Amino acid sequence: MDEELLKEYSELLPQKVLDEIKDAVPSNISKSKLKEILDKTLEEYNTMKVSPGECVGLVGAESIGEPGTQMTLNTFHFAGVSEMNVTMGLPRIIEILDCSKSLSTPMMEIYLKSPLNKGKGIKEFAENVKETKLRECIKEISVNIGNSSIEISLDKEKMDLLHITRKKLISIMDASLKGFTVKENDELIVVKPRGKDDTVNSLFKAKEKLKEMYVSGIKGITQVLPVKKGEEYIIITAGTNLKVVLEMEEVDATRTISNDSLEISEILGIEAARESVLNEVKKVIDVQGLNVDVRHIMLVADIMCISGAVKGITRYGVVSEKSSVLARASFETPLKHIINASISGERDHLNSVVENVMLNQVIPIGCGMPKLVLENEKGEKAK
Amino acid sequence: MTEVYLNGKFVGDVENPVEFVDHIITERRKGVLSPNINVLYVKENDNIIIEAGKGRLRRPLLVIKEGKPLLTEKHVSQLEKGELTWSDLINQGIIEYLDALEEENVLVAFTEEELTPEHTHMEISPMVQLGLCASLVPFGNHNQSTRLNAGSKNQKQALGLYIANYLVRMDMDVNILQTPQMPIVNTIMHEISEYDKHPSGQNIIVAIMSYKGYNMEDAIILNKGSIERGLGRSTYYRPSIAEELRYSGGLVDQISIPDKEVKGYRSEKDYRLLEGDGIIYPEAFINEGDVLIGKTSPPRFLSSMDEYNLVSNMRRESSVTVKHGERGYVDFVLITENEEGNKLVQVRIRDQRVPEVGDKFTSRHGQKGVVGLIVNHTDMPFSASGIVPDLIFSPHSIPSRMTVAHLLELIGGKVGALSGRFIDGTTFDSETEEDLRAELLKCGFRENGTETMYNGMTGEMFEAKIYMGNMYYMKLKHMVANKIHSRARGPVQLLTRQPTEGRAKEGGLRLGEMEKDTFVAHGASLLLKERFDADRTIVPVCESCGLIAIKDEFKNKHFCPICGDDVEVTNIELAYAFKLILDEFKSLCIYPKLELKGKY
């Protein structure tokens, strides 16, 4: 194989294509034949390129937007767990592209190392991952107005499953409740206010606070569901906390992901976030059985991540980055943009499509792009 | 204790709710209490609701006692003789009206066969569950419910004889079918509603087959010969109204042929049809733009100064003209006065509407379609006995919609036409398919309604047997003549200088935001610019301040209202709408400065 010849083409063809050719042709191929193949490939490759002036953004937008009109079914259910609905369809697309801070169904897919990924002890592990609140490991909680105290009776079985001891629970309660004393009393745990200002109201407030008190597990993960994916077992969670989960020893940190692009960008960086946006949009479109070329979605993901932080396609995100006042004003809240522009004396260079449509000028796209410059007899360029 | 509510208000308690309610009902049936009272015992809430107010939807049901209706054969024969009336039955408690409330506690049988001792009521007829229009659909029980709905909706839009004295009325948008017929296949409701007094369709011969692809997608083929013999021919009437309004200062409108001095005088040709009183004469043929009633109005803003101003003292032309796209004959002229005593003139226009391509027709089964092609009589397929269909309907309209009644009506109509009688197609109570088919066979036709047919153009026999028979078809009020519209150049809006919207204003068809996107996506930017050139303007711009300058046409000089005369002004090409937004910016105290640059 002529490595020299391949190198010559490394500037003209992407490495991936060259590698594929290398794998496909027999190693004893003659130089002229290889050159013929490479030339043919190059020709094909160049015809497939997007021409300059092609309106890729708009074509991308329409290509994602049009199938969006056909989307049905806004949720997706996991068999067996009724609480675990996943937002899908158009609402999910909007959520991803707007880059919402609070997703309606944040989720994680936790991949595990051996032996957990064979399914051994996965249930116990999952239970430990799940955030446990006090209300889940008690039988009963009640306010005893007679001696102004809160009485808690514990659920032993649940506590054993979670490996929580009574002592640990009491110490947690002691630390999180200020102004109260926590005491053991036979089967009960009794919480009493320390001071004298023991209004019933404050007791009830403390009771509500106790119920939602964090006991164990990973904060933010409200549901866990071990499922079999292909050959191995993984855990699907409702709620995310990528940072803590990735630090766990049993977790395969190379594959574990969350569906929150913002979280991913914070913890794994912007490249991972771009990939996440791409995958999440793709997932929705695939579930609906629609067909959108990935390159359209890639373009959107690129635009969202180009500044180094994930930005939504909203008037606060990507649209606010547009340089043209008129283009921004034509999107949303026109008055705001025009007034702000007039305060700072902004200049609109009319470089993009929307502004030129507004002025009814030739838009700088496609056949409106090339400019004709004539030279006169003296060789001067016309103005 | 059970609480009792009368018309939503608490009135007291009772000990035995069931007994109490039963008592009210028996007293009502006896006629002691008003038949308008309805009562319900709600077990879950343990309260009794009595309603006697107005605005409740109620319907009559036969009362059942011990599995037998109170209505006997004797009652029926008495009814037939006229010895008994409907209200007698109600007073005797044989029939009672229930509202939605009381219906909660009763068990209603559908037919007499399914009566059990538990039943409390029975439907008078299974057909009463249908409304008026739905019960006009023959064999309705063979149709899917959505089609029954669509069918009854379509009937409301059918042209017919909506009222007999239409000639002396001045209703807006009147359509009268010229030769309406009573349907051959009818229901009991046709009789009850005296449908023969106001029919709205015609019995025509329908063949279910395709024809050169011109009846794809619900289109229908019409026989030109049938149209010339009067199929689907209707008359359209529309009055135009003019009134001599009175204004402040004793000024009035005047109905007369306008003077030539009047502001906005049309051409003499436009007024040619007016008679001395300024009103058009009956039976005049009129076209778009012709004046029907000549009228002038006093000048709009009259102040004391204007009395010396000749221009503003002129009366305005305000004649009533034929609307854009309309034509016809003047049918009737009415001169009268209105409530305020003003002179009122109404001119009714008449136009004959012959079916044309695009007009909408429907059967009674929600099988509507527009005319796709009008075929010469000679080119239509014909049967062995020489029958030529009036209409060809596409077989593809049948399977997905499952309108079996459409097919049954076709057989029924064929039998009715051959044996010279009306066919009863009452929903749930119709003549059976077997009987109709047997009768068809007796008439000498194929039992399944198909016939051997021949290609009208080549004379060759079709391989397939064609399903052909009589059906009741209706012409719907949506006619192309009222909707056809196109424009190349035309009126523009005053504010934006963009084309007007809508057919009445001869408007343009908007190339919207998404349509614009398609041009952009194809990179057809020069085409896009040309498309949006409708409000193109040339605006002079001051080079030094960047604001729009003024051209003095008298001196043929440009000047800038801010920088003065001595300034360089350049003409630029803009959308007028953009010039408008620049003006709006200025009104908001925002300075939109245009920086001009050579194009190349």
Using the predicted structure, report yes or no on whether residue B306 has a pLDDT greater than 60.
Answer: no
pLDDT in the model for residue B325: 81
We report the CATH number of the domain holding residue A161 as: 3.30.1360.140
Question: Among A287, A304, A321, where does a domain finish?
Answer: A321
Q: In this structure, is residue A375 part of a structural domain?
A: no
Q: In this structure, is residue A327 part of a structural domain?
A: yes
pLDDT in the model for residue B228: 95
- Distance between CA atoms of A235 and A180, rounded to whole angstroms? 38
Using the predicted structure, report yes or no on whether residue B321 has a pLDDT greater than 80.
Answer: yes
Query: If you average pLDDT over residues A248-277, what whole number do you get?
Result: 92
pLDDT in the model for residue B600: 54
- Distance between CA atoms of B101 and B172, rounded to whole angstroms? 41
Q: Is B579 left (phi over 0), alpha (psi -120 to 50) or beta?
A: alpha
Q: In this structure, is residue A96 part of a structural domain?
A: yes
Q: In this structure, is residue A228 part of a structural domain?
A: no
Using the predicted structure, report yes or no on whether residue B305 has a pLDDT greater than 60.
Answer: no
Kindly report which listed range (A68-72, A199-203, B129-133) carries the lowest average pLDDT score: A199-203
A174 half-sphere exposure, CB direction, 13 A CA radius: 11
Using the predicted structure, report yes or no on whether residue B251 has a pLDDT greater than 70.
Answer: yes
Partners of residue B583 in chain A, C-beta under 8 Å = none
Tokens of B358: 């695009």
Same domain, A299 and A332: no
- Distance between CA atoms of A77 and A354, rounded to whole angstroms? 41
pLDDT in the model for residue A197: 62
Residues 6+ apart with CB under 8 A from B90: B35, B60, B96, B97
Percent of all residues in chain A with a pLDDT value above 90, rounded to a whole number = 22
pLDDT tens, position by position, B257-271: 888 888 888 888 888
CA distance A374 to chain B (A): 9
pLDDT in the model for residue A190: 81
Using the predicted structure, report yes or no on whether residue B301 has a pLDDT greater than 60.
Answer: yes
Domain that holds residue A88: 52-105+259-321
Percent of all residues in chain B with a pLDDT value above 70, rounded to a whole number = 98
**pLDDT band with cut points at 50, 70 and 90 for residue A74:** low
Query: If you average pLDDT over residues B394-411, what whole number do you get?
Result: 94
Nearest to B69 by CA among B32, B124, B106, B24: B124
**From 3.30.70.100, 3.90.1800.10, 3.40.50.300, 2.170.150.20, which CATH number describes the B485-600 domain?**
3.90.1800.10
**pLDDT band with cut points at 50, 70 and 90 for residue A138:** confident
- Distance between CA atoms of B97 and B63, rounded to whole angstroms? 10
pLDDT in the model for residue A256: 92
Partners of residue B528 in chain A, C-beta under 8 Å = 357, 363
Whether B301 and chain A come into contact, CB under 8 Å, resolves to no
pLDDT tens, position by position, B40-63: 999 888 889 999 988 999 989 999
Strand partners, B466: B451
Using the predicted structure, report yes or no on whether residue B307 has a pLDDT greater than 70.
Answer: no
Query: If you average pLDDT over residues B553-566, what whole number do you get?
Result: 87
pLDDT tens, position by position, B439-473: 999 999 999 999 999 999 999 999 999 999 999 99
B66 half-sphere exposure, CB direction, 13 A CA radius: 0
pTM: 0.73
**pLDDT band with cut points at 50, 70 and 90 for residue A78:** low
Q: How far is CA B222 from CA A349, B218, B227, B230, B256, in A?
A: 60, 13, 8, 12, 46
Averaging pLDDT over each range in A15-29, A113-127, A165-179, B184-198, which range is the top one?
B184-198
Using the predicted structure, report yes or no on whether residue B361 has a pLDDT greater than 80.
Answer: yes
Whether B525 and chain A come into contact, CB under 8 Å, resolves to yes
Same domain, A41 and A85: no
pLDDT in the model for residue A83: 63
Tokens of A144: 């005893």
Using the predicted structure, report yes or no on whether residue B304 has a pLDDT greater than 60.
Answer: no
Same domain, A285 and A335: no
pLDDT in the model for residue A181: 78
- Distance between CA atoms of A22 and A7, rounded to whole angstroms? 12
Query: If you average pLDDT over residues B378-397, what whole number do you get?
Result: 94
- Contact assignment for A365 to B525 by CB distance below 8 Å: yes
pLDDT in the model for residue A303: 93
Q: In this structure, is residue A231 part of a structural domain?
A: no
Same domain, A270 and A316: yes
Same domain, A203 and A142: yes
Nearest Cβ partner of A367 from B521, B526, B574?
Answer: B526
Same domain, A274 and A315: yes
| Averaged pLDDT score across all residues of chain B | 90
- Contact assignment for A362 to B529 by CB distance below 8 Å: yes
**Which residue would you say has higher pLDDT here, A380 or B234?**
B234
Nearest to B545 by CA among B499, B582, B512: B582
Whether B511 and chain A come into contact, CB under 8 Å, resolves to no
Using the predicted structure, report yes or no on whether residue A274 has a pLDDT greater than 90.
Answer: yes
pLDDT tens, position by position, B161-219: 999 999 999 999 899 999 999 999 999 999 999 999 999 999 999 999 999 999 999 99
- Contact assignment for B529 to A363 by CB distance below 8 Å: yes
Using the predicted structure, report yes or no on whether residue A167 has a pLDDT greater than 70.
Answer: yes
Q: In chain B, count H helices and then E strands.
A: 11, 34
Residues of chain B with CATH 2.40.50.150: 235-353
Q: Given B218, B270, B331, B351, which residue is catalytic?
A: B218
Give the distance from CA B523 to its chain's centroid: 42
- Contact assignment for B525 to A364 by CB distance below 8 Å: yes
Using the predicted structure, report yes or no on whether residue A301 has a pLDDT greater than 60.
Answer: yes
Residues of chain B with CATH 3.90.1800.10: 485-600
Averaging pLDDT over each range in A71-80, A318-327, B472-481, which range is the top one?
B472-481
A65 → chain B, closest CA residue: B514
B501-516 b/e with 16+ CB inside 10 Å = b?
eebeebbbeeeeeeeb
- Contact assignment for B529 to A383 by CB distance below 8 Å: no
Q: How far is CA B409 from CA A237, B142, B252, B402, in A?
A: 61, 10, 61, 14
Task: Give the best residue of B515, B527, B528 to mutate against chain A (max A CB count within 10 A).
Answer: B528
Percent of all residues in chain B with a pLDDT value above 90, rounded to a whole number = 59
pLDDT in the model for residue B302: 56
Cα Rg of chain A (Å, integer): 30
**Which residue would you say has higher pLDDT here, B400 or A166?**
B400
CATH number given to B235-353:
2.40.50.150
Torsion of CA B195, B198, B204, B209, to 10 degrees: -80
Same domain, A141 and A172: yes
Same domain, A174 and A195: yes
pLDDT in the model for residue A209: 81
Partner A, chain B 49-88, Cβ-Cβ below 8 Å? none
**pLDDT band with cut points at 50, 70 and 90 for residue A176:** confident
Q: In this structure, is residue A245 part of a structural domain?
A: no
We report the CATH number of the domain holding residue A364 as: 1.10.150.390
Nearest Cβ partner of B590 from A342, A353, A382?
Answer: A342
Report the number of distinct structural domains present in chain A: 4
Query: If you average pLDDT over residues B504-516, what whole number do you get?
Result: 89
Partners of residue B581 in chain A, C-beta under 8 Å = 358
pLDDT in the model for residue A11: 85
B533 included as an active-site residue: no
Query: If you average pLDDT over residues B286-307, what whole number do you get?
Result: 78
Which amino acid does the sequence have at A355? E
Partners of residue A368 in chain B, C-beta under 8 Å = 523, 525-526, 529
Q: In this structure, is residue A381 part of a structural domain?
A: no
Nearest to B411 by CA among B448, B376, B368: B448
Q: Can you list the pairs that A45-53 forms with residues at least 24 positions away whose Cβ atoms lie under 8 Å?
A: A45/A12, A45/A13, A45/A17, A52/A369, A53/A365, A53/A366, A53/A367, A53/A368, A53/A369, A53/A370, A53/B523
**pLDDT band with cut points at 50, 70 and 90 for residue A177:** confident
Same domain, A155 and A98: no
pLDDT in the model for residue B183: 95
- Contact assignment for B574 to A362 by CB distance below 8 Å: no
Using the predicted structure, report yes or no on whether residue A77 has a pLDDT greater than 70.
Answer: no
**pLDDT band with cut points at 50, 70 and 90 for residue A332:** confident
Token look-up 């209707």 returns B234
Task: Give the best residue of B525, B582, B588 to mutate against chain A (max A CB count within 10 A).
Answer: B525
- Contact assignment for B600 to A58 by CB distance below 8 Å: no
Query: If you average pLDDT over residues A160-186, what whole number do you get?
Result: 77
Using the predicted structure, report yes or no on whether residue B311 has a pLDDT greater than 60.
Answer: no
pLDDT in the model for residue B529: 92
Same domain, A72 and A8: no
At the fourth CATH level, the homologous superfamily of domain B136-154+185-223+365-475 is: DNA-directed RNA polymerase, subunit 2, domain 6 (2.40.270.10)
Question: Among A303, A321, A339, where does a domain finish?
Answer: A321
Angle, in degrees to the nearest 10, between helices A270-287 and A89-98:
160
Per-residue three-class SS string for A119-155: CCCHHHHHHHHCCEEHHHHEEEEEEECCCCEEEEEEC
Partners of residue A52 in chain B, C-beta under 8 Å = none
**pLDDT band with cut points at 50, 70 and 90 for residue A123:** confident
Q: In this structure, is residue A186 part of a structural domain?
A: yes
ipTM of the complex: 0.76
pLDDT in the model for residue B472: 95
Using the predicted structure, report yes or no on whether residue B415 has a pLDDT greater than 60.
Answer: yes
Which amino acid does the sequence have at B206? V
Using the predicted structure, report yes or no on whether residue B71 has a pLDDT greater than 90.
Answer: no
pLDDT in the model for residue A148: 76
Tokens of B367: 């099988």
Torsion of CA B551, B553, B554, B556, to 10 degrees: 70
